[in-house]
Amino acid sequence: MIKLTLAAARVNAGLKQEQAAKLIGVTPKTLGSYERGNTAIPGYRLKRAAEVYGIPEDMIKLPVVDDGEYDEDEKNLQVSTF
């Protein structure tokens, strides 16, 4: 399956960053931060972005964000020692 970056998905949908941000419910600065990978996009915002862009969520390639925070699933993982 082909995956698109957030920015490519937005451009393919024919939206400028300001338009998309308003439809997703964030500021253009926040959307830009998501697109550049400076800030991890929350799942509910990703779902809304996919709806706005008219593509399935799993078609969006998300950048790896190293913000020092763990994803919610990673927080719940237990490390086993042998």
pLDDT for 1 equals 79
Q: For residue range 16-48, list pLDDT tens digits in order.
A: 999 999 999 999 999 999 999 889 999 999 999
Q: State the Cα–Cα distance between residues 20 and 52, nearest whole angstrom.
A: 7
pTM: 0.76
Tell which residue, 7, 47, 55, 63, has the closest CA to residue 31.
7
pLDDT (average), residues 6-17: 97
Three-state secondary-structure class, residue 60: strand
- Report phi then psi at 50, rounded to 5: -60, -40
pLDDT for 69 equals 58
